[in-house]
A and B are shown apart, each in its own frame.
Chain A
């Protein structure tokens, strides 16, 4: 009998976005607006998710504010009993929309900040955005939402992690999530330009730890280190198909937001199946659930209950086989792939390949 009960649903309402960050967690092949689920389809997904046991809902994107029905979706999520987080760039959060979202029962807003240095911030975002984010943050604060600032860290902003934390506090954040770039999709494509040095990582870790003490009781700070510099892989959401699921803008159900890059898997769609069926029966969810799929050294490793063999997406992206151990792990010979990557000569930021949808096929 299946004992896994999911706690968290990430709803990628759209892949459309005014920002073009080169480490975007959306897949390289972005889903177009016309393929997105309808309002009613999303509502059904939220109700089914709650019935399945989901407690936390991420209303994410792309930029979810580009969905004109966001308020209606937030209201439905709240009435279904979900705790919702809006994961936004802040662009498009007008007073009118913020007030309607508050009325709808949305509880938590997460605004991304690219850097404390406004010039570098806009260079990374690929668009004018700093002023909009300040206005959005003030609204979130004024209307009494729970407020998190989230920041993706990389070589160009890691040395300012202290200033970034102070900026989040000035903006009135209750929490700040600092996470080093993960190298899948866009991030992997831009890895040489994003990758920090070991010294940068060490220093930023110290700064973050001191800030945690200084801000204790006022602002919660979480800091996710880059896994390339770790000895063991990260435990992806408690293991594949265990606690977490993602619905892509077109209704495709994924065990992880990076899962579409695993081309050996096929994914079921909420247009064709209930979420309950997908969670239990979908091949993609069953592929790496539990530990039957594991190879050595994972299979006999006592850490398999700690990190569950690490990240399947990373194993596929770097070795071409998603059933391999996560190459971050120093217990596998595959680790040499990571060690090689750490020796890559650094590229300059000018070489960023920004996140844009593929051009429309030419009409002739």
Chain B
């Protein structure tokens, strides 16, 4: 995952909100991952056109903190789990 990477959700995965657990959730075949708020904020920005650099810029402004390491690490983990694809 580099700053030029364009991460997007796996074609089979969909973001949703679970009213029972009061948590954002990522749904995909035979699985579900409960997300925390920041995780969901990152994944919502992965629309297949923004670069990692774009996403970091948006979230740095939103949270008023340097989030580049956290965002990169999170997306790398999700890519290892094949829930995020990047090219």
Interface size on A, residues (CB 8 A): 21
Whether B30 lies near A56 (C-beta < 8 A) is yes
A169-204 at interface with B (beta carbon < 8 Å): 174-175, 177
Whether B20 lies near A52 (C-beta < 8 A) is yes
CB closest chain-A residue, reference B20: A53
Whether B82 lies near A85 (C-beta < 8 A) is no
Q: How far, in angstroms, from A294 to B32 measured CA to CA in the complex?
A: 29
Whether A55 lies near B29 (C-beta < 8 A) is no
Whether B11 lies near A146 (C-beta < 8 A) is yes
Q: Is A220 an interface residue (CB 8 A)?
A: yes
Q: Is B6 an interface residue (CB 8 A)?
A: no
Whether B25 lies near A175 (C-beta < 8 A) is no
- Name the B residues within 8 Å of A85 (CB-CB): 29-30
State the Cβ distance, A142 to closest chain B Cβ, in Å. Answer: 15
CB closest chain-A residue, reference B17: A81
Whether B12 lies near A108 (C-beta < 8 A) is yes
- Name the A residues within 8 Å of B31 (CB-CB): 56
Interface size on B, residues (CB 8 A): 17
Q: How far, in angstroms, from A217 to B81 measured CA to CA in the complex?
A: 10
Whether B12 lies near A55 (C-beta < 8 A) is no
Whether B29 lies near A108 (C-beta < 8 A) is yes
Q: Is B16 an interface residue (CB 8 A)?
A: yes
State the Cβ distance, B34 to closest chain A Cβ, in Å. Answer: 9
A29-86 at interface with B (beta carbon < 8 Å): 50-53, 55-56, 81, 83, 85
Contact with B along A293-314 (1 / 0, CB 8 A): 0000000000000000000000
Whether B21 lies near A146 (C-beta < 8 A) is no
Extra inter-chain contacts (9) besides given A55-B25, A85-B29, CB under 8 Å: A55-B18, A56-B30, A83-B16, A83-B27, A107-B12, A108-B29, A146-B12, A146-B28, A174-B11
Q: Which residues of B contact A (CB under 8 A)?
A: 11-12, 14, 16, 18-21, 25, 27-32, 82, 85
Q: Could you list 29 A-B pairs, sorted by A, with CB under 8 Å?
A: A5-B21, A7-B32, A51-B20, A53-B18, A53-B20, A53-B21, A55-B18, A55-B32, A56-B30, A56-B32, A81-B16, A83-B14, A83-B16, A83-B27, A83-B29, A83-B32, A85-B29, A107-B12, A108-B12, A108-B29, A110-B29, A146-B12, A146-B28, A146-B29, A174-B12, A175-B12, A175-B29, A177-B30, A217-B85
